[in-house]
Amino acid sequence: MIEKEKITLDEIPQECKAKIGKITVILTGKITDKIREPMEGCACPMGVVSKEFIEKLELKDQEVLIVDTEAGMKHFGRGVEKGIDTVIIVAEPSFESIEVASKAWELTQKLRKDVYLILNKVPEGEIREKLKKLVEEKELKPAGIIPYDE
């Protein structure tokens, strides 16, 4: 789908990325403003393009690209992570979110990629303690906890 053999960050239009110094952030996934009717908007083509783009991307020395994927597991099924070095999983304090994080952790390890877990929106007190216990039971090792901020 992408005709070029190699792509650089300089070739990405400004409106499609956020850049500070040598760090660039791009988003992948569905473009929600294009969905106008129910039952519209398959993400499969976006996954194929994302995977190919990441595989063909050539970074310069000291350049860092952060790819913000949609929540969930679909991007793993599409192989988007194949061309990356590290996966940072962001999970919220819910059972479902930790289940998805656990599966993402497992799949990342199978790909032999570095993996980090960030727990986000974590309130103080009992919920935090229960969350720490659940994460420990799943053998996940959080790299950081971001507190809930009203």
Res 6: pLDDT: 92
* Pair 79, 101 in one domain: no
Give the three-state DSSP class for 73. Answer: coil
First CA to last CA distance, the chain? 44
Q: Are the beta carbons of 30 and 46 closer than 8 angstroms?
A: yes
Res 121: pLDDT: 97
* Pair 79, 89 in one domain: no
Q: Based on the structure, what is the number of domains in the chain?
A: 2
Q: Are the beta carbons of 48 and 1 closer than 8 angstroms?
A: yes
* Residue 74 identity: K
Pairwise pLDDT comparison (42 vs 146), residue with the higher score: 146
> pTM for the full model?
0.82
Q: How far apart are CA 78 and CA 68, in angstroms?
A: 15
2-11, 44-53, 117-126: which is most confident: 117-126
* Pair 58, 96 in one domain: no
The token pair that represents 23 in the structure block: 């760090």
pLDDT bracket for residue 116 (50, 70, 90): very high
Q: Judging by DSSP bridges, how do beta strands 64-68 and 86-91 pair with one another?
A: unpaired
* Pair 99, 71 in one domain: no
Q: Mean of the pLDDT values across residues 57-63?
A: 92
* Pair 145, 111 in one domain: yes
The token pair that represents 140 in the structure block: 């996940």
pLDDT bracket for residue 27 (50, 70, 90): confident
* Pair 62, 72 in one domain: yes
Length of the chain equals: 150
Residue 114 confidence (pLDDT) above 90: yes
Q: Which of 18, 9, 4 is nearest to 61 (CA)?
A: 9
* Pair 73, 23 in one domain: yes
Domain that holds residue 124: 85-150
* Pair 125, 59 in one domain: no
The token pair that represents 129 in the structure block: 């303690």
Q: How far apart are CA 141 and CA 127, in angstroms?
A: 17
pLDDT bracket for residue 77 (50, 70, 90): confident
* Pair 26, 77 in one domain: yes
50 burial type by CB count under 10 A (0-12 exposed, 13-18 middle, 19+ buried): buried
Q: Are the beta carbons of 114 and 91 closer than 8 angstroms?
A: no
